Amino acid sequence: MHAEEIDNLLQSETRAFRYLVRFCWKNHQRFCPRCRHRKTYKLRDQRRRCARCGYTFHDFSGRWINNGGLACRQWLQIITFFAMDYTVLAMSRELNLAYNTVYKAVTTLRCAIAANANDARTFFSMQQRVFSASRGRMVPSHQDKATTPVPIFGIREHADQATATLLPGIFPKTAFNFHHDPGLQIGQLGKIFFTSPYQEYDALLFCTHVPPPCPINPTMNLGKPASVKGSFVRFALEHTRRCKGLSPERFPLYIKELEFRFNNRTRVLLPLIAELACGFVPNLE
């Protein structure tokens, strides 16, 4: 989309609503989000009621974009800046919104992206310590994050596409122990660690604030591209350089976002992200 088209959509709440709602209903055919029945009755304030189950809903009920209480114009502004790879802090300043408000919206977009990945069910089941997606809502977890092991991503690349898969049963301590094997090299960028190829994976990638049990003497340097195998790993590490306060809890969602950006790097991201944001929240429990 051209800048003029985006500016035109952001001129009013009505235009932003019309743009977003087109991603919600195929051929403008509305149905009940709960029972999928197509016969509904119009109510006030653009709401509808299902003729079968009596559920009252609006166009964004049960969808990712319904999280956060933002207006359509605000959502479209955030999606636009997100597509342009703005940081949360930069977005909050540009839009004059509270940092926490923008962060919650960006987290919602990242969840929508992760929910569309091939490994969505596995990913969300392993992330229940942070949040869960169920019944049309993204629900924060009340589990003790400090006592839950940090997972590790296995990175694979093929035909200019990358997959970042959370590996069950492998944690930072395991990877640090792998380092003692003569064939595995490990590198570090702040709290982020990455390795040379391991089994069928081009690299392992993880984030932890817990130091290694013993000095690991990293053997790979981001400043030397030849030492980091795989363009996605380099892509991810370069992006994480500008992320302040990236925690192990936030890292998995951030990597799924980068997987999406890497695999769609030749496409216009705004409509892709808008379509995902307007999708129904799947039940991934």
DSSP codes, 77-141: HHHHHHHTT--HHHHHHHHT--HHHHHHHHHHHHHHHHHTSTTHHHHHHHTTTTEEEETTEEEE-
Per-residue confidence band for 161, with pLDDT thresholds at 50, 70 and 90: very high
Please give the average per-residue pLDDT across 259-274, as a whole number: 96
Please give the average per-residue pLDDT across 176-189, as a whole number: 74
Please give the average per-residue pLDDT across 267-278, as a whole number: 97
The pLDDT value recorded for residue 189 is 85
HSE-up of residue 135 (Cα within 13 Å, Cβ side)? 1
Percent of the chain's residues with pLDDT above 90: 55
Summarize pLDDT for 56-100 with one digit per residue, the tens: 999 999 999 999 899 999 999 999 999 999 999 999 999 999 999
The C-alpha atoms of residue 36 and residue 33 are separated, in whole angstroms, by 6
Per-residue confidence band for 125, with pLDDT thresholds at 50, 70 and 90: confident
13-21 helix and 72-83 helix, angle to the nearest 10 degrees: 70
The pLDDT value recorded for residue 222 is 54
Indicate if the alpha-carbon torsion angle 219, 225, 230, 236 is positive or negative. positive
H or E segment and range at residue 167:
strand 161-167
Per-residue confidence band for 225, with pLDDT thresholds at 50, 70 and 90: very low
Range of 63-72, 129-138, 225-234 with top mean pLDDT: 63-72
The C-alpha atoms of residue 134 and residue 132 are separated, in whole angstroms, by 6
What does pTM read for this prediction?
A: 0.88
The pLDDT value recorded for residue 190 is 84
Please give the average per-residue pLDDT across 109-128, as a whole number: 89
Query: Which of 199, 201, 64 is closest to 133 using CA atoms?
Result: 64
139 pLDDT higher than 50: yes
